[in-house]
Amino acid sequence: MQPFFVVLEWQYPVITPMRKFIEQWKRAWRVRSFREQLVVTVPVLLISLVALRIFLEYIEHRSGVMIADPVLELLPVIDLTWITFALLCSGLVLGIATLCFRPYALVRTLRAFVVMTLLRIVYISFLPLDPPPEAIPLVDPFVQVLGSGVVLTRDLFFSGHTATMVLLALAVPWRDLKIVLSIGALAIAICDILQHVHYVIDVLTAPCFAYAAHGIAEWLTVKEPEPPKTLPSPSNRMM
């Protein structure tokens, strides 16, 4: 008699990834260090995102400096808000859905988001900038619904949208998906520049900060244990 899961996989192919998902999380959950890091990481991420939101609303009342950007002066101003958020949301869904099948990589990526959020708070604090003169505000539809409705214009150095896509490209395991997310990051960077919501330097430095956050998170996160090596049977040893 065939095992229950084998019959289901033959009749319903979608069962196969579901089974792998469950097995990966069962295996990871047995490791105490993984459980501890997951339980700590999720609330810390939520707290850091709330803190970032409060901080960004606070700095909207702060005056900054406007830097000369010869590249922006040559480019037209185009409202690409919905294209930007369509790219970002697609990348987030694709990246996180993929990482859910790799629990250790998911925890490492969530920690990288925490590190990157802290880096943004630090650098925006010490580099008060005013937006480019012809900037079209990038109105986040989720923030407008869930937040206080304040339109953010001074969260400039470095570009959070571009850095997020680069971080996902670094985190996912497959080369083809890395290429897709990298193209998405490049497209978002171009949209930010054409909409004049960021200086060019904000976009160019974003991948560097994403790479740094990924490296720090990898150093802080427990490594996935290697699967046990199967020893050859006595009959194979004699052959």
3-state secondary structure of 173: coil
Can you give the pLDDT at residue 2? 45
pLDDT of 46-98, one tens digit each?
999 999 988 988 898 888 888 889 999 999 999 999 999 999 999 999 999 99
Q: State the pLDDT confidence band at 23, using cuts at 50, 70 and 90.
A: confident
Max distance between CA atoms of the chain, in angstroms, equals 79
Query: Which pTM was predicted?
Result: 0.83
Q: DSSP for 204-223, please give it.
A: HHHHHHHHHHHHHHHHHSPP
H helices within 75-174, ranges in order? 81-99, 103-126, 141-146, 160-171
Can you give the pLDDT at residue 85? 92
pLDDT of 125-173, one tens digit each?
999 999 998 888 887 766 655 566 677 888 888 899 999 999 999 999 9
Can you say how many angstroms the Cα of residue 192 is from the centroid of all Cα atoms in its chain? 17
Q: Which residues contact 73 (CB under 8 A, 6 or more apart)?
A: none
Place of tokens 């700095």: 59
